[in-house]
């Protein structure tokens, strides 16, 4: 299962997933279209990151998934996030400039 777009955006913000390719990062920041391979690369990296979170956090996958599902209220894609209501705020990198991959 490949993570939803919401999860990718939420994973990019707190630095759970880092985009090291400067050209790809700039595309995400400018909300430009990405290639199919770039989108797949981001989705797969997000999937791998989410898969590690239960072991790292001591939570169940259901709890991790629920956290990201409800993150859409705190960290919406198209408007300013409500960082103060997010439990990840103290450790979040607040990379609000990043946008989900668009293919």
Among left, alpha and beta (phi > 0; psi -120 to 50; other), residue 80 is beta
- At 4 the pLDDT is 46
User: Does residue 58 have a pLDDT over 90?
Assistant: yes
Residues across the chain: 103
How many of the other CB atoms lie within 10 Å of CB of 99?
18
**Looking at the domain assignment, is residue 36 inside a domain?**
yes
Q: Name the residue range of residue 22's domain.
A: 5-91
User: Does residue 77 have a pLDDT over 80?
Assistant: no
Whole-prediction pTM: 0.68
**Looking at the domain assignment, is residue 101 inside a domain?**
no
| Stretch among 1-10, 68-77, 86-95 having the lowest mean pLDDT | 1-10
**Looking at the domain assignment, is residue 29 inside a domain?**
yes
Residue in the block written with tokens 């668009």: 102
User: Does residue 10 have a pLDDT over 90?
Assistant: no
Domains of the chain: total: 1
**Looking at the domain assignment, is residue 100 inside a domain?**
no
**Looking at the domain assignment, is residue 102 inside a domain?**
no
């Amino acid at each position: 299962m490949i993570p939803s777009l919401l999860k990718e955006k939420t994973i990019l913000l707190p630095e759970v997933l880092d985009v090291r390719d400067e050209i790809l990062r700039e595309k995400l920041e400018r909300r430009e279209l990405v290639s199919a391979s770039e989108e797949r690369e981001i989705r797969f990296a997000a999937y791998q990151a989410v898969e590690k979170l239960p072991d790292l956090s001591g939570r169940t996958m259901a709890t991790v998934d629920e956290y990201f599902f409800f993150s859409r209220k705190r960290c919406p894609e198209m408007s300013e996030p409500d960082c103060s209501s997010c439990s990840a705020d103290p450790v979040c990198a607040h990379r609000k400039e990043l946008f989900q991959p668009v293919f």
